[in-house]
Structure 1
Amino acid sequence: MDTLFVRELKVETRIGIYDWERQVKQTILIDLDVAADAAFAARGDKVESTVNYQTICQRLVAHVQDAEVELVETLAEQMAAIILGEFRAPWVRVTVHKPAAVRGTRDVGVQIERGARPA
């Protein structure tokens, strides 16, 4: 199975466990790896034959901008469910980065994998 990917999709949202975090929008970055059959898509050379990463990105941006969750884990689970359910991907890896959330670090976050990665 092949993998379509998106790196550093930038979204502004309200996320965090502290009151001060919930007062301002923060930047998160999203990385996606989505199982897809690239050979099948290439044979037809039509976007309808593949998982459309532009459509996925638009859907996730809309969701994340309105989500207002406390945990990056919650956000990652929600995005994985959207990709598996709405886009019928068999497997997805979602990484949510919350840059500079912890003093002295460049980046913190979570990475999850959901679904079954086809052979």
Structure 2
Amino acid sequence: MVDTLFVRELKVQTRIGIYDWEREVPQTVLIDLEIAADAARAARTDKVEATINYQTVCDRLVDYLEGAETELVETVAEEIARIVREEFGAPWVRVAVHKPAAVRGTRDVGVRIERGQATK
């Protein structure tokens, strides 16, 4: 079984979209993360240093997104996956990027990707 840390609906303002009007003001995106991590190791030590600190991950992603200007949610998802894997050493990550109300008549649109290998 793979242990997974998760973050649901990290809310961030960023400039994203394919239309000029979308890039004039920041829009809300919601980020869901699942990150493979060894929860047993962390539990044995009871120290945050023994796991991936989701607060630090969230702070890094907010910094990235607040400064980003992208057209596609796919680009955002790929960059988030890269950051989590390369900067935090996660072997596997699942990222969902939601852009609420981007399409009239919908509650939410977005993309979900997985990168890396979940280890057992």
TM-score, normalized by the shorter chain, greater than 0.5: yes
Match of 1:34 in 2: 35
* Aligned-CA RMSD value: 0.4
Match of 2:26 in 1: 25
User: How far 1:37 moved relative to its partner?
Assistant: 0.5
Match of 1:99 in 2: 100
SS in 1 for 2:63: helix
Give me the whole-angstrom Cα distance separating, in 1, the residues matched to 2:108 and 2:36.
Answer: 26
- Show the 5 A alignment for 1:56-71: 56-71=57-72
Identity rate of aligned residues, in percent?
72
SS in 2 for 1:14: strand
Measured against aligned partners, the alpha-carbon deviations of 1:13-48 in whole angstroms (never above 9, x if no partner) come to 100000000101100000000000000000000000
SS in 1 for 2:101: coil
Give me the whole-angstrom Cα distance separating, in 2, the residues matched to 1:17 and 1:28.
Answer: 15
SS in 1 for 2:32: strand
Unpaired segments ≥5 residues, structure 1: none
Give me the whole-angstrom Cα distance separating, in 2, the residues matched to 1:11 and 1:75.
Answer: 12
Q: Across the two proteins, how many residue pairs are aligned to each other? A: 119
Give me the whole-angstrom Cα distance separating, in 2, the residues matched to 1:108 and 1:99.
Answer: 6
Give the aligned residue type for 1:7: R
Unpaired segments ≥5 residues, structure 2: none
User: How far 1:98 moved relative to its partner?
Assistant: 0.1
Match of 1:86 in 2: 87
Give me the whole-angstrom Cα distance separating, in 2, the residues matched to 1:24 and 1:55.
Answer: 26
User: How far 1:49 moved relative to its partner?
Assistant: 0.2
Measured against aligned partners, the alpha-carbon deviations of 1:32-91 in whole angstroms (never above 9, x if no partner) come to 000000000000000000000000000000001111100000000000000000000000
Match of 1:72 in 2: 73
Give the aligned residue type for 1:35: A
Match of 2:13 in 1: 12
